[in-house]
Amino acid sequence: MEWKKSTFLHAFLLVLLPIFLPKLTFGDDIGLQEIRQIVTNMSTDIKADQVLKSPVDGWYTIKKGAYIAYISEDGRHLIQGDMYNLETQVNLSEDIRNDSRREIVSAYPLRDMIIFKPNKKTHAVTVFTDVDCTFCRRLHSQIDDYLAEGIEIRYLLYPRNGPQSESWVIAEQVWCSNDRNEALTLAKIDQQFDSRDCDSSPISEHYMLGQDVGLQGTPAIVLEDGTMVNGYVTAAELSRIISLSD
The CA distance from 140 to 79, in Å, is 40
pLDDT digits (tens, 9 = 90+) for 53-97: 888 888 999 988 888 899 998 888 888 888 888 888 888 888 889
Which of 19-23, 156-160, 205-209 bottoms out in mean pLDDT, i.e. has the lowest?
Answer: 19-23
pLDDT digits (tens, 9 = 90+) for 211-231: 999 888 999 999 999 999 999
pLDDT digits (tens, 9 = 90+) for 103-127: 999 999 999 999 999 999 999 999 9
The CA distance from 94 to 228, in Å, is 10
pLDDT at 1 over 60: no
- Contacts made by residues 177-184, CB under 8 angstroms, sequence distance 24+: 180/114, 181/114, 181/115, 181/116, 184/114, 184/131, 184/140, 184/155
pLDDT given for residue 30 in this prediction: 65
pLDDT at 2 over 60: no
pLDDT at 23 over 50: no
CB 81 within 8 A of CB 92: no
CA dist 23 → 6, 73, 79 (Å): 32, 15, 17
- DSSP character at residue 18: G
For residues 6-45, one letter each, b for 16 or more C-beta atoms within 10 angstroms of the residue's C-beta and e for the rest, the string is: eebeeebeebbeebeeeeeeeeeeeeeeebbebbbebbee
Which amino acid, residue 33? Q
Report phi then psi at 102, rounded to 5: -60, -45
Span 198-209, average pLDDT? 96
pLDDT at 99 over 50: yes
**Predicted confidence band of residue 133 (pLDDT cuts 50, 70, 90):** very high
- Domain locations in the chain? 2-81, 105-245
pLDDT at 146 over 60: yes
Q: Where are the alpha helices (DSSP H) in 128-231?
A: 134-141, 143-148, 166-175, 180-187, 201-212
pLDDT given for residue 128 in this prediction: 98
105-245 CATH fold: Glutaredoxin (3.40.30)
Q: Who contacts 56 (Cβ-Cβ below 8 Å, separation ≥6)?
A: 70, 83, 92
CB atoms within 10 A of CB 110: 11
pLDDT at 16 over 80: no
The CA distance from 43 to 50, in Å, is 12
Residue 33 host element (H or E):
helix 32-42
Which of 12-16, 43-47, 70-74 bottoms out in mean pLDDT, i.e. has the lowest?
Answer: 12-16
Among candidates 135, 94, 104, 113, which has minimal Cα distance to 218? 135
Angle at 187 between CA 189 and CA 150, to 5 degrees: 85
